[in-house]
């Protein structure tokens, strides 16, 4: 209050400062002081003048007080001292003059505020005046200038405290500075070569140490799907890590065989892959640990062997999130522990270092003035800032001294980390070969003149070698046949084709065009060749590519023609827009085309989503990217690769690998992210997962699931055993059963065994047959899959092998519904299956609403600090929990106590940490959870992919009648409605 | 615009003996006006005079008064002004007449008028001067009747003072 009034007084004072106050002799103050009503008359009182003088003196000190006008005191002192007896003309004039001055001052000064803009009438005010003083009338400019300076000073004062002012936008966008800024930003997360292109069009995410495009900013989910299924979708997969292994074939195979198992499919030693004709894919385990301790899926390509030599080269392509686990494992397996420091081995250049001799290597084709200008600018840039602005190619986060090569003295194997050394683009879709054929052109031969003289470039050297040219011709022929193929999926999966191509920038169309398959009828000879290609794939010798050679790669990378140079050459062409001829010598690039298999599992939509991978030497990324985009492909991000694998029905890494370390890490990240999203809502607006009976909406407790199902099967077994004691059993069975019965005791004492994902081919096939495979919508049965119901002994045998396993399944909904992430897969009751038979309503059962025991507890927590009261209030809840009669009595009863201790972390709507039994929490027994669920555009119904417990699945199948075998229930975490779905295991 | 509107009367107090003028103060003028209004217009007029009436400025040397009246009734109040014949102050009755020079909507217009009026008066005084001394004084007064070039300096001072206040 006081302050407020003080401020008001201050404002008023400021307002009235220039206003003249009354000019009069102070009488009121004098009167009380004189102590009476004795009039201070003008002529009589001798003390009156002194009084007046006193008061005037007093008033000079506080300037703002009323009374005498200041102007009067300065010069009109002569008459102010006393009331004069007579009046003179001069005095009268002086008084008038003083008054005029006071008035003038009042009139000239605005009262309200001293902003210059307010001095202007409203219709003359302009917004830009506050920035540009010259817009003000001239008479006001001075004051405005002063004001501005003052405010600038104040601003600079503030800014000095926080931060110095940055450069102007123009300066920042200058090429050299921009490059420096980009390099600085690349230090933390690696940028792909197409980063800038992506950053303009995609939502970027920082993942696995890279900046990656997640999804396009435009709405193109369906167009992307359409591109995948009918035309071509392009993705930049350069973030995949390539690890190169070199060494003797036997030693390499011996080392690598420890990482894989034949039971899970073909290994590194598969004959077709080993010849270099095919790309292979395996799931890698820690050495000798199969089936537990999985690392993750990798793909690999062998370099085709050169005649007779046993020295082989192998590229292993792995996801960046498993590289940190895979690389040490490979090193230990190959006994490669000697890190080779990059400078020691000249062959291996670390990613960041590009040779300083680049200008010398560059052909001196550029006209002199342009070059000198360029160098000058570069130099000035260098002067300005210490590190020279050089575009980072490859991994910018890695320091120079980090070893990328490891050598083994005992086995002779060399491991080379080629991360970011090779650009990898993926084209998905049936027309991807058309796009490739239109974009790429087999390298043209160079003329005799170039051949005759030695060249620093790789291509002229190669042209000299007859055998190499022959090989190139064969490869070019095969590449030309590719155009005539109807669909990319017709080719054998994993075909590899090496090629040398021209710089695709030279044939860049002026407009974006859609690459269409050529419809012309090909001749008979071509037909023959085409069939050969489709059946056998690329012949062995044509898989050779010079991309495998480090020296060629570096040569190509260093000698790339810059965009600027190319444009200059184009501008010098006689006919504008015509093709550059002859092709500049630097414009030949060795590439490797690797066919990517489409949908291989299941019985329908086979080879959906097949495509080609294009491997390029680093530095050429954008040179190939833009021409590809100009052929009418869609570009997808991480989101699309997830959808791709979802439609293919394959597990996507690292989302669907809950048993490998990268998958576990991913799940944790996902959980925190989802939980954050959840917590951001106010409690009243959250989904109450407790009431929905959803125990784990954000993270699936696979381990707990596997353990519980193991326990359940064991109980069942014991019951059955006690019933059928007299039954004659084979010797092996009894042994097994003894094992089983003895297991509970062991289970408690022995250390935890971790759950595994079932990847054994044989077992998967068996299980798949038992599930009665159907088409995706579950209408038709597949004839091939008709397998009779297994007898109990076979099941028992199966279970002993995979008692702690979960299995990857595809669930397709029979009616409507869209499964979501972490939806529950449950066992249907017999009456649920009856619902299926009457077609009228096929909607499925409902889950009764659960009680939220935690609500009351939270209230109590708020209310009482009294602990005894809280403890007593717990008991009715306990009975309640028991009343809600699930078979998990002990756990449920135990739960409140334990959770009450840890209730500090109680989040409304979520179960606190020690979960009760996950399987039997709801009215239907839980089998597993969904890790990917969406409406499938390819199947036309809701489709989910997820894991279910093997034990649970088997017991479900066994108890179901034949016609309903493999029917399960699916419930989203946010809903109470169960949907019927058909389970399919696809091998 | 929405505001309380009033009229400002710029009046000159004319007295027979100019030395008596110096004894005037604003309260005395105000009471005199109120008394005159009450006399001529009764209780109604007195009531009108309670709100919105004030003496904004009084210069005892020149006898200039700014009176503020509410706009709605200023004519009524104005009509009472001629009935003021004397102002009682400090126990003296000063016989005087209020001569209205200007009616303005804002103090500012009154001030502007006053500047014009005063300079005009001074200029009229100059030829009528009796002796040289007086003439000199009047001439000097006329010369000081402006704010020559001090405009800028003062404004600077203002800014500085403002800064001080802000800090």
How far is A850 from A692, CA to CA, in rounded Å?
Answer: 6
Average pLDDT (A799-806) is 80
> Which range among A86-95, A731-740, B8-17, B93-102 shows the weakest confidence by mean pLDDT?
A731-740
What's the whole-number mean pLDDT along residues B33-61? 89
Band the pLDDT of A161: cuts 50, 70, 90. low
CA distances to A413, A451, A559 from A502, in Å: 34, 17, 14
Q: Is the pLDDT of residue A158 over 80?
A: no
Distance, in Å, from the CA atom of A724 to the CA atom of A729, rounded to the nearest integer, reads: 10
The total of other beta-carbon atoms located within 10 Å of residue A734's CB is 12
CA of B87: how far to CAs of A512, B20, B36, in Å?
A: 97, 11, 10
Distances (CA, A) of A422 to A209, A236, A432: 17, 11, 20
The answer to whether the Cβ–Cβ distance between A103 and B115 falls below 8 Å is yes
Higher confidence at residue A324 or residue A914? A324
Nearest to A881 by CA among A904, A897, A861: A897
The full set of domain ranges for chain B reads 1-105, 115-147
**Cβ A594 vs Cβ A612: under 8 Å:** yes
d(CA A568, CA A582): 15
Q: Which residue is closest to A69 within chain B, CA to CA?
A: B59
What local confidence, expressed as pLDDT, does residue A880 receive? 39
Q: Percent of chain B scored above 70 by pLDDT?
A: 86
Least reliable range by pLDDT among A54-58, A130-134, A465-469: A54-58
Residue A859 contacts B where some CB pair is shorter than 8 Å: no
* SS3 at position A723: helix
Q: What pLDDT score was predicted for residue B68?
A: 92
- Sheet containing strand A294-302, edge to edge, reads A279-285, A294-302, A311-318, A241-248, A414-417, A405-407, A338-340
By mean pLDDT, which of A628-632, A654-658, A759-763 is the weakest?
A: A759-763
Confidence of residue B7 (pLDDT cuts 50, 70, 90): very high
**Separation between Cα atoms, residue A453 and residue A444, nearest integer Å:** 18
Contact B59 A95 (CB under 8 A): yes
Looking at CA atoms only, how far is residue B146 from chain A in angstroms? 6
Q: Specify the pairing of strand A233-236 against strand A634-635.
A: parallel
- Is the pLDDT score of A387 beyond 90? no
Share of chain A above pLDDT 90, in %: 2
Of residues A83, A105, A108, nearest to B22 (C-beta): A83
Helical pair A731-749 and A702-723, crossing angle rounded to 10 deg: 130
Nearest to A114 among B24, B146, B162 (CB): B162
Instruction: Domain A240-343+399-419: give its CATH code.
Output: 3.30.70
> Which of B24, B118, B133 is the closest to A96 by Cβ?
B118
- Range in A565-574, A675-684, B150-159 with the lowest mean pLDDT: B150-159
Q: Residues in chain B, how many? A: 167
So what's the pLDDT on residue B28? 87
Of A19, A75, A86, the CB nearest to B19: A86
Give the end-to-end CA distance of chain B in Å, rounded to a whole number: 34
Top-confidence range, A445-459, A876-890, A928-942:
A928-942
Q: Between B57, B136, B165, which is nearest A22 by CB?
A: B57
Q: What is the pLDDT of residue A968?
A: 87
Whether the CB of A518 is below 8 Å from some CB of chain B: the reply is no
What is the SS3 string spanning A187-210? CCCEECCCHHHHHHHEEEEEECCE
The yes-or-no verdict on residue B12 having pLDDT over 60 is yes
Domain ranges of chain A: 13-108, 117-162, 215-238+422-565+583-650, 240-343+399-419, 683-850+917-984, 855-904
Tell me what the mean pLDDT of segment A950-974 comes to: 83
- Higher local confidence (pLDDT), A778 or A295: A295
Residues from chain A contacting residue B159 (CB–CB below 8 Å) = 114, 146-147, 150
Question: For residue B117, which residues of chain A lie inside 8 Å, CB to CB?
Answer: none
Q: Which residue has the higher pLDDT, A542 or A736?
A: A542
Q: Poorest-confidence range of A206-210, A713-717, B115-119?
A: A713-717
**Which of B25, B115, B145 is the closest to A24 by Cβ?**
B25
Please tell me the distance in Å from A10's CA to the nearest CA on chain B: 9
Q: Average per-residue pLDDT in chain A? A: 73
Stronger pLDDT, A66 or A577, i.e. the higher one: A577
Question: Hey, which residues 26-45 in chain B have their CB within 8 Å of chain A?
Answer: 26-27
Q: What pLDDT is stored for residue B40 in this prediction?
A: 92
**pLDDT class of A463 with cuts at 50, 70, 90:** confident
Residue B159 corresponds to which tokens in the numbers above?
Answer: 């800014």
The pLDDT of residue A789 is 63
Convert the pLDDT of each residue in B13-27 to its tens digit.
Answer: 888 877 777 788 888
Task: Name the average pLDDT for chain B.
Answer: 81
pLDDT(A45) > 60: no
Q: Does B67 touch chain A (CB under 8 A)?
A: no
> Residues of A with CB below 8 A from B155's CB?
114, 143
Q: Which CATH number is A683-850+917-984 given?
A: 2.40.30.110
A587 pLDDT more than 70: yes
What is the full DSSP assignment across A445-483?
Answer: PPPHHHHHS--SSHHHHHHH-HHHHHHHHHHHHHHHHHT
- Mean per-residue pLDDT, A399-411: 73
Q: Do A240-343+399-419 and A683-850+917-984 come out as alike in CATH topology?
A: no
- Above pLDDT 70, what percent of chain A? 71
User: Quick one: how far is CA A86 from the chain centroid?
Assistant: 97
> Hey, are the CB atoms on A22 and B61 less than 8 Å from each other?
no
B109 at interface of A, judged by CB pairs closer than 8 A: no
Gap between the Cα atoms of A923 and A694, Å rounded: 11
Which site among B1, B27, B58, B61 would you substitute to test the A interface, given the most A Cβ atoms closer than 10 Å to its Cβ?
Answer: B61
CB–CB of A744/A718 below 8 Å? no
- For residues A553 and A560, give the distance between their C-alpha atoms in angstroms, rounded to a whole number: 11
B146 touching chain A per CB within 8 A: yes
Q: With 90 as the cut, is the pLDDT of residue B103 above it?
A: yes
Specify the pLDDT at position A425: 92
Question: Residue A42 and residue B23: Cβ atoms within 8 Å?
Answer: yes
Q: Do A25 and B142 touch (CB under 8 A)?
A: no
What is the phi-psi region of residue A923: left when phi exceeds 0, alpha when psi lies from -120 to 50, beta otherwise? alpha
Portion 71-100 of B in contact with A at CB < 8 A: 89-92
Q: Which residues of A touch B163 (CB under 8 A)?
A: 150
Q: What is the pLDDT of residues A257-308, one digit of tens each?
A: 888 888 777 888 888 888 888 888 888 888 877 777 888 888 988 888 777 7
Contact A928, A825 (CB under 8 A): yes
Sort out which chain A residues have CB atoms less than 8 A from B23's CB and list them. 25, 27, 41-42, 83
CATH superfamily, with its number, for domain B1-105: Ribonuclease P, Pop5 subunit (3.30.70.3250)
A318, A324, A325, A326 alpha-carbon torsion, rounded to 10°: 40
8 Å CB contact between A489 and A584: no
Range in A475-489, A758-772, A850-864, B147-161 with the lowest mean pLDDT: B147-161
A891 pLDDT band, cuts 50/70/90, is very low
Distance CA A545, CA A498 (A): 4
Is pLDDT at A593 greater than 80 in this prediction?
A: yes
- Tell me if chain A has a CB within 8 Å of the CB of B160: no
User: Cis (ω within 30 of 0) for the bond into A831?
Assistant: no
Q: What is the tens place of the pLDDT at every residue in A662-713?
A: 888 898 999 999 989 888 888 888 888 888 888 888 888 888 888 888 888 8
Question: A681-686: long-range contacts at Cβ-Cβ below 8 A with a sequence spacing of 24 or more?
Answer: A683/A908, A683/A909, A686/A908, A686/A909
- Model confidence at A441, pLDDT cuts 50, 70, 90, reads confident
Burial of B21 (C-beta count, 10 Å sphere; 0-12/13-18/19+)? buried
CA distance A23 to chain B (A): 4
If pLDDT is split at 50, 70 and 90, which confidence band does B102 have? very high
Of the ranges A336-345, A904-913, A976-985, the best mean pLDDT one: A976-985
Q: Mind telling me how many Å the CA of B73 is from chain A's nearest CA?
A: 25
- Residues A771, A810 contacting (CB under 8 angstroms): no
**Nearest residue in chain B measured CA to CA from A84:** B19
Question: Per the CB < 8 Å rule, is B90 touching A103?
Answer: no
Verify whether the Cβ–Cβ distance B25 to A93 is below 8 Å.
Answer: no
3-state helix, strand, coil in chain B (%, to 5): 55, 25, 20
Question: Residue A413: what pLDDT?
Answer: 83
**pLDDT at position A655 over 90:** no
From the list B58, B61, B129, which residue is nearest A89 (CB)?
A: B129
Q: Is B90 close to A39, i.e. CB distance below 8 A? A: yes
Provide the chain A residues 46-75 that lie in CB contact (below 8 A) with chain B. 72, 75
Whether A28 sits inside 8 A of B111 (CB atoms) is no
Instruction: Write down the ipTM of this complex.
Output: 0.77
**DSSP bridge partners of B102:** B10
CB contact under 8 A, A22 and B25: yes
**Interchain pair A25, B125: CB under 8 A:** no
> Model confidence at B49, in pLDDT bands (50, 70, 90)?
confident
Mean pLDDT along residues A350-358: 37
| Token digits of residue A337 | 């522990």
Determine contact: A10 vs chain B, CB below 8 A.
yes
- Higher-scoring residue by pLDDT: A738, A913: A913
What is the predicted pLDDT for the residue at A865? 43
Res A79: pLDDT: 40
pLDDT at A878: 39
Q: Which of A69, A80, A86, A89 to mutate to test the interface with B (most CBs of B within 10 A)?
A: A89
């Amino acid at each position: 209050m006081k302050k407020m009034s003080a401020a008001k007084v201050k404002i008023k004072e400021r307002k009235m400062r220039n206003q003249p106050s009354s000019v009069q002799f102070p009488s009121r103050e004098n009167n009380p002081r004189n102590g009476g009503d004795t009039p201070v008359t003008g002529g009589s009182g001798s003390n009156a003048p002194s009084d007046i003088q006193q008061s005037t003196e007093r008033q000079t000190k506080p300037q703002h007080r009323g009374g005498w006008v200041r102007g009067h005191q300065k010069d009109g002192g002569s008459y102010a001292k006393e009331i004069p007896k007579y009046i003179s003309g001069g005095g009268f004039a002086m008084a008038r003059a003083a008054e005029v001055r006071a008035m003038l001052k009042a009139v000239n000064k605005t009262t309200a505020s001293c902003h210059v803009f307010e001095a202007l009438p409203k219709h003359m005010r302009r917004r830009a005046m506050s920035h540009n003083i010259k817009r003000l009338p001239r008479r006001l400019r001075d004051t405005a200038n002063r004001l501005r300076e003052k405010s600038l000073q104040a601003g600079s004062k503030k800014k000095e405290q926080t931060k110095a002012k940055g450069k102007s936008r123009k300066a920042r966008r200058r090429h050299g500075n921009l490059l420096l800024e980009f390099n600085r930003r690349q230090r933390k997360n690696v940028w792909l070569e197409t980063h800038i292109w992506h950053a303009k069009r995609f939502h970027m995410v920082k993942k696995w140490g890279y900046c990656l495009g997640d999804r396009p900013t435009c709405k193109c989910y369906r167009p992307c799907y359409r591109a995948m299924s009918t035309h071509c979708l392009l993705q930049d997969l350069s973030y995949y890590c390539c690890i190169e292994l070199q060494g003797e074939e036997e030693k390499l195979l011996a080392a690598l065989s420890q990482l894989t198992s034949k039971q899970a499919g073909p290994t590194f030693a598969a004959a077709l892959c080993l010849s270099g004709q095919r790309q292979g894919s395996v799931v890698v385990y820690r050495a000798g640990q199969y089936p537990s301790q999985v690392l993750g899926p990798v793909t690999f390509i062998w370099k085709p062997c050169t005649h007779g030599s046993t020295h082989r080269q192998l590229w292993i392509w792995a996801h960046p999130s498993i590289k940190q686990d895979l690389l040490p494992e490979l090193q230990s397996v190959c006994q490669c522990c000697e890190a080779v420091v990059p400078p020691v081995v000249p062959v291996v250049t670390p990613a960041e270092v590009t040779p300083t001799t680049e200008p010398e290597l560059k052909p001196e084709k550029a006209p002199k003035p342009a070059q000198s200008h360029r160098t000058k600018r570069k130099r000035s840039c260098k002067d300005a800032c210490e590190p020279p602005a050089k575009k980072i190619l490859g991994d910018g986060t890695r320091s120079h001294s980090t070893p990328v090569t490891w050598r083994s003295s005992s086995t002779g194997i060399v491991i080379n980390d080629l991360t970011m050394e090779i650009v990898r683009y993926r084209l998905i879709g049936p027309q991807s070969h058309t796009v490739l054929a239109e974009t790429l052109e087999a390298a043209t031969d160079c003329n005799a003149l170039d051949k005759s003289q030695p060249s620093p470039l790789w291509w002229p050297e190669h042209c000299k070698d007859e055998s190499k040219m022959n090989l190139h011709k064969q490869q070019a022929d095969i590449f030309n046949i590719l155009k005539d193929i109807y669909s990319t999926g017709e080719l054998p999966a994993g075909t590899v084709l090496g090629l040398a191509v021209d710089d695709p920038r030279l044939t860049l169309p002026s407009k974006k065009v859609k690459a269409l398959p050529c419809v012309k009828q090909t001749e008979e000879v071509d037909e023959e060749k085409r069939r050969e290609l489709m059946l056998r794939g690329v012949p062995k010798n044509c898989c050779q590519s010079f991309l495998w050679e480090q020296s060629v790669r570096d040569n190509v990378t260093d000698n790339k023609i810059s965009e600027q140079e190319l444009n200059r050459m184009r501008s010098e062409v006689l006919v504008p827009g015509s093709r550059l001829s002859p092709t500049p010598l630097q414009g030949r690039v060795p590439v490797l085309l690797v066919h990517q298999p489409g949908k291989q599992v299941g019985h329908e939509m086979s080879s959906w989503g097949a495509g080609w991978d294009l491997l390029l030497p680093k530095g050429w990324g954008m040179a190939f990217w833009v021409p590809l985009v100009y052929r009418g492909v869609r570009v997808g991000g991480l989101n699309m690769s997830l959808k791709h694998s979802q439609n293919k029905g394959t597990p996507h890494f690292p989302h669907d690998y809950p048993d490998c370390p990268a998958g576990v890490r991913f799940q944790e990240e996902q959980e925190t992210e989802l939980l954050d999203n959840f917590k951001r809502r106010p409690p009243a607006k959250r989904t109450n997962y407790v009431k929905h009976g959803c125990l784990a909406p954000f993270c699936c407790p696979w381990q707990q699931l596997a353990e519980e199902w193991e326990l359940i099967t064991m109980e069942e077994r014991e019951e059955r055993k006690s019933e059928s004691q007299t039954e004659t059993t084979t010797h092996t069975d009894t042994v097994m059963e003894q094992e089983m019965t003895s297991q509970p005791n062991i289970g408690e004492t022995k250390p935890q065994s971790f759950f595994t994902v079932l990847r054994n081919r044989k077992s998967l096939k068996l299980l798949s047959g038992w599930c009665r495979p159907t088409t995706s919508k579950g209408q038709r049965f597949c004839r091939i899959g008709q397998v009779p119901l297994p007898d109990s002994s076979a099941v028992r045998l199966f279970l002993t092998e995979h008692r702690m396993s979960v299995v990857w399944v595809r669930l397709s909904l029979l009616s409507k519904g869209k499964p979501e992430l972490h939806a529950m897969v449950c066992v249907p009751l017999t009456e649920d299956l009856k619902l299926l038979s009457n077609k009228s309503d096929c909607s499925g059962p409902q889950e009764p609403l659960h009680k939220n025991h935690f609500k009351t507890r939270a209230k109590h927590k708020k209310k009482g600090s009294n602990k005894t009261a809280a403890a007593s209030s717990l008991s009715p809840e306990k009975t309640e929990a028991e009343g809600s009669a699930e078979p998990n009595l002990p756990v449920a009863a135990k739960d409140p106590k334990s959770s009450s201790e840890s209730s500090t972390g109680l989040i409304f709507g979520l179960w606190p940490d020690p979960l009760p039994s996950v399987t039997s929490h709801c009215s239907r027994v839980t089998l597993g959870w969904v890790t990917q669920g969406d409406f499938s555009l390819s199947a036309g119904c809701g489709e989910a992919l997820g894991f279910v417990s093997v034990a649970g699945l088997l017991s479900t199948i066994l108890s179901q009648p034949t016609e309903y075998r493999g029917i399960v229930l699916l419930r989203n975490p946010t809903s109470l409605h169960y949907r019927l779905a058909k389970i399919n295991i696809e091998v | 615009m929405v505001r309380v509107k009033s009229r400002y009367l710029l009046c000159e107090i004319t007295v027979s003996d100019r030395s008596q003028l110096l004894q005037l103060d604003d309260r005395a003028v105000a009471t005199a006006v109120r008394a005159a209004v009450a006399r001529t217009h009764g209780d109604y007029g007195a009531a009108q005079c309670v709100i919105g009436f004030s003496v904004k400025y009084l210069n005892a040397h020149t006898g200039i008064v700014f009176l503020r009246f509410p706009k709605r009734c200023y004519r009524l109040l104005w009509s009472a002004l001629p009935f003021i014949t004397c102002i009682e102050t400090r126990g003296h009755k000063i016989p005087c007449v209020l001569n209205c020079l200007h009616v303005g909507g804002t103090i500012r217009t009154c001030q502007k008028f006053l500047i014009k009026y005063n300079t005009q008066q001074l200029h009229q005084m100059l030829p009528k001067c009796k002796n040289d001394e007086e003439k000199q004084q009047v001439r000097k007064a006329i010369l000081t009747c402006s704010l020559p070039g001090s405009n800028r300096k003062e404004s600077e001072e203002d800014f500085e003072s403002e800064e001080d206040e802000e800090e």
